[in-house]
């Protein structure tokens, strides 16, 4: 009887250890790259997403720099810039955006794309939850008016004027999408 208890206890500890070892904060697999029809570009390289929600911008915060920036990053292998923007936006925000037209290229050579959400987030949100897998690289995700931001709040203060220009050019919704009634 004592030997059976010992074996059961050992089995329980092994199973519990296996279960706990399987829990981690790695991001789920990225969804398939979504690019709006007729806007697929073959360019590769680093890219960012400018996501406009009504008259606000989704910006993510870097805990070390204590500044905001657009989601995005470097491409992998032969990945297009649009797919790099999509993948990084998913990994950093959890949003499966539709990548639209290019708004321009910033001083670091990163292409900035208009990225659109499927759903209306509502006007009451100003801070959005950061996915667990994105922490500690990202400590905040804000819906903010880019015209109310001060240059010292932006990762590259000189680029804030450029971001505001792109913001004015970007759409807030997918084509043929109507605002939800409130």
Q: Write the pLDDT tens digit of every residue in 2-53.
A: 443 433 343 333 333 333 334 555 668 878 899 988 888 888 899 999 999 9
Q: Where residue 111 sits, what CATH number does that domain have?
A: 3.90.79.10
| C-alpha 67: how far from chain center | 16
Position 124 in a domain = yes
**Domain housing 85:** 47-169
Looking at residue 18, what is its pLDDT?
Answer: 33
Question: 57 lies in a domain?
Answer: yes
Residue showing tokens 């059961």: 8
Please check whether residue 174 lies inside any domain of the structure.
no
* 34 located within any domain: no
Beta bridge partners, 180, equal none
Query: Does 175 reside within a domain?
Result: no
Q: Is residue 134 part of a domain?
A: yes
**pLDDT attached to residue 112:** 96
How far is residue 90's CA from residue 76's CA, in Å, rounded to a whole number?
Answer: 15
- pLDDT confidence tier of residue 83, bands split at 50, 70 and 90: very high
In angstroms, rounded to a whole number, what is the distance separating the alpha carbons of residues 86 and 74? 11
pLDDT band, very low/low/confident/very high, at 122 (cuts 50, 70, 90) = low
User: Does 6 reside within a domain?
Assistant: no
pLDDT confidence of 88, banded at 50, 70, 90? very high
Where b means 16+ CB within 10 Å and e means fewer, 130-154 reads bbeebeeebeebbbeebeebeeebb
Asked whether residue 119 is domain-assigned, the answer is yes
Whether residue 157 has pLDDT greater than 60: yes
Both tokens of 150, joined, read 């001060």
Q: Are 86 and 33 in contact (CB under 8 A)?
A: yes
């Amino acid at each position: 009887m004592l030997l059976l208890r010992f074996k059961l206890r050992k089995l329980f500890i092994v199973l519990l250890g296996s279960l706990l070892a399987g829990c981690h904060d790695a991001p789920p697999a990225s969804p398939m790259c979504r690019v709006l029809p007729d806007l697929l570009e073959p360019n590769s390289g680093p890219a960012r997403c400018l996501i406009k929600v009504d008259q606000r911008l989704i910006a993510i915060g870097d805990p070390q720099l204590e500044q905001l920036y657009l989601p995005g990053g470097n491409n992998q292998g032969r990945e297009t810039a649009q797919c790099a923007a999509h993948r990084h936006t998913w990994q950093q925000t959890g949003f499966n955006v539709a990548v639209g037209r290019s708004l321009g290229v910033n001083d670091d050579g990163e292409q900035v794309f208009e990225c659109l959400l499927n759903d209306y987030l509502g006007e009451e949100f100003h801070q959005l939850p950061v996915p667990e897998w994105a922490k500690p690289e990202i400590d905040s995700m804000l819906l903010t008016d880019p015209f109310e931001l001060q240059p010292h709040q932006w990762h590259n203060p000189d680029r804030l004027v450029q971001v505001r220009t792109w913001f004015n050019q970007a759409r807030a919704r997918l084509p043929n999408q109507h605002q939800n009634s409130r």
